[in-house]
């Protein structure tokens, strides 16, 4: 592709960052998805985006599907392509968006995996034997207590925790939205054990609540790795990832409260339809109870 065509990609990513104020993760995903489209254009010897037509985009998406990409990933990739071409149309580089009417295959609906209360207790009630394990337990407690996203947890600063009011301020939620969420006593207790130890790792200019052993803000990947190591230590039969703790929080809260709006607020969902997936989890729980208790349900 010509340098001019490639520079339009750079302009689009700047537009996402500075005008749309898209999150770092969103920009990274768009860069990755549009890189695949760029490679497709190079194979077809396309020099400019204006040469792409509806059949070309359809063939690209079909090819990605043949490579094993699932429905949800294809939808996200097609969304990135549409957004890019919308940007080109808006800025008079193109007349029409060739991906406008293209639809990706429907993604199969899978319910999020959750842990039951006994599994949560097994994860959180093992004693820490080092500074880093004390930090890790505090991380897991805050995850489950507040139902945070991984990026929200690693983005926490010390001043975001209000011990007297038992509240946590999420400064940078999804869509750059902030919110307040309550935090439980066990999570606060775990934090009180961690904070004195944090001083031994502290970098003078670092405000992050959770630090690495080098005194820097803990990364998302590090949290994932530490949770995996902790699961091996406690011989967990279940593979647990950070988001599973968020799912478990939502499922357990909804099961006890039956308050879908409250779960929506706590999770920071802009649409209640996103939260409604947890009603299916709760319904599955009810079916399980029914099958085990109703006299006419048993075989």
Angle between helices 220-233 and 131-146 (to 10 degrees): 100
278 is catalytic: yes
Annotated catalytic residue: which of 174, 179, 193, 241? 174
Among the options 30, 87, 144, 278, which is catalytic?
278
Tell me if residue 246 is catalytic.
yes
Q: Cα–chain-centroid distance for residue 98?
A: 30
What distances in angstroms separate CA 155 from CA 42, 87, 132, 223, one per listed residue? 38, 30, 18, 12
| 196's tokens | 């004195």
CB-CB contact of 207 with 195 (8 Å):
no
The one catalytic residue in 149, 198, 247, 252 is 149
Structure tokens at 80: 């990135």
Nearest to 131 by CA among 67, 201, 81, 74: 201
- Active-site residue, 247 included: no
243 catalytic? Reply is yes
Check 20, 65, 269, 285 and give the catalytic one: 269
Pairing of strands 161-162, 179-182: unpaired
The catalytically annotated residue of 64, 76, 135, 246 is: 246
- In angstroms, how far is CA 102 from the centroid of its own chain? 26
87 is catalytic: no
Which of 17, 48, 193, 243 is catalytic? The answer is 243
On the 0-12 / 13-18 / 19+ scale of CB atoms within 10 A, 3 is exposed
Dist. CA 99–CA 60, nearest whole Å: 11
Residues forming the active site: 149, 174, 243, 246, 269, 278
């Amino acid at each position: 592709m010509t340098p001019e065509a490639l520079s339009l990609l750079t302009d689009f990513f700047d537009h996402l960052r500075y005008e749309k104020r898209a999150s770092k993760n969103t920009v990274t995903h768009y860069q990755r998805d549009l890189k695949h489209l760029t490679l497709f254009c190079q194979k077809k010897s396309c020099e400019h985006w204006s040469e792409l037509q509806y059949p070309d985009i359809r063939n690209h998406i079909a090819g990605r599907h043949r490579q094993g990409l699932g429905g949800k990933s294809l939808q996200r990739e097609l969304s990135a392509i549409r957004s890019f071409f919308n940007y080109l149309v808006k800025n008079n580089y193109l007349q029409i968006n060739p991906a406008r009417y293209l639809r990706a295959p429907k993604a199969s609906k899978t319910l999020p995996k959750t842990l039951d209360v006994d599994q949560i207790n097994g994860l959180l009630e093992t004693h820490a034997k080092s500074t880093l394990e004390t930090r890790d337990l505090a991380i897991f407690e805050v995850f489950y207590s507040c139902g945070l996203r991984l990026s929200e947890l690693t983005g926490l600063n010390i001043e975001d925790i209000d011990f007297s009011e038992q509240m946590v301020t999420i400064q940078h939620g999804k869509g750059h939205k902030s919110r307040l969420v309550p935090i439980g006593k066990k999570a606060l207790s775990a934090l009180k054990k961690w904070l004195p130890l944090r001083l031994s790792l502290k970098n003078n200019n670092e405000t992050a609540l959770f630090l690495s052993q080098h005194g820097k803000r803990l990364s998302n990947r590090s949290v994932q790795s530490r949770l995996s190591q902790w699961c091996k230590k406690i011989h967990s039969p279940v593979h647990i990832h950070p988001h599973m703790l968020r799912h478990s929080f939502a499922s357990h809260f909804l099961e006890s409260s039956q308050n879908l709006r409250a779960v929506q607020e706590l999770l920071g969902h802009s649409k209640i339809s996103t939260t409604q997936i947890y009603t299916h989890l709760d319904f599955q729980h009810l079916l399980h109870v029914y099958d085990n208790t109703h006299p006419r349900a048993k075989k």
